[in-house]
Amino acid sequence: MKKEIYGVITFKSTNHAIKGEKALKNININIKTIPTPREITSSCGLSIKFDLDDLLKVKEVIKENELAIKGIYKTIRKGLNKKTIEI
């Protein structure tokens, strides 16, 4: 069974999510815009998935670009089962 651990950033609005995607792509890290996981409800429909190794860089970009985020989470996915905790 495939196991994967990654970070998820949720945003206050779709526009900020799009802005975030652009800003994070600019610093050449591996990210992906995904629909907000069901376990995290209180945010807009788009989130950004990233590699937890890049957490510091990601936080920096969020600060620099004044992105309105709702939260940053860590997700552990095993097959189709997911566990998400706020970090």
Partner 1 sequence: MKKEVDARNVACPKPVIMTKKALDSIAEGTVTTIVDNEVAKENVSKLAKGSNFRCKVEKTKDGNFLINITKGINTEGEEETTNVCTSDTFSDMTIAITSDKMGKGKDELGNILMKGFIYTLTESIPYPSTILFYNTGVNLTVEGSEVLDDLKELEDEGVEIISCGTCLDYLDVKDKLKVGEVSNMYTIVEKLKGASNTLTI
In which residue are the tokens 């900020």 written? 16
Q: Which residue in the set 5, 26, 27, 32 belongs to the binding site for partner 1 (CB under 8 A)? A: 32
Tell the smallest beta-carbon distance from residue 74 to partner 1 (Å). Answer: 17
Which of 30, 33, 36 shows the shortest CA–CA distance to 10? Answer: 36
Task: Show the binding pattern over residues 34-63: x = contacts partner 1 (CB under 8 A), - = does not.
Answer: xx---------xx-----------------
- Whether the Cβ atoms of residue 84 and residue 34 lie closer than 8 Å to each other: no
Q: Which is nearer to partner 1, 49 or 57 (CB)?
A: 49
* DSSP 8-class letter at 43: S
Q: Which is nearer to partner 1, 35 or 63 (CB)?
A: 35
From the list 5-13, 27-35, 51-59, 67-75, the region that binds partner 1 by CB under 8 A is 27-35
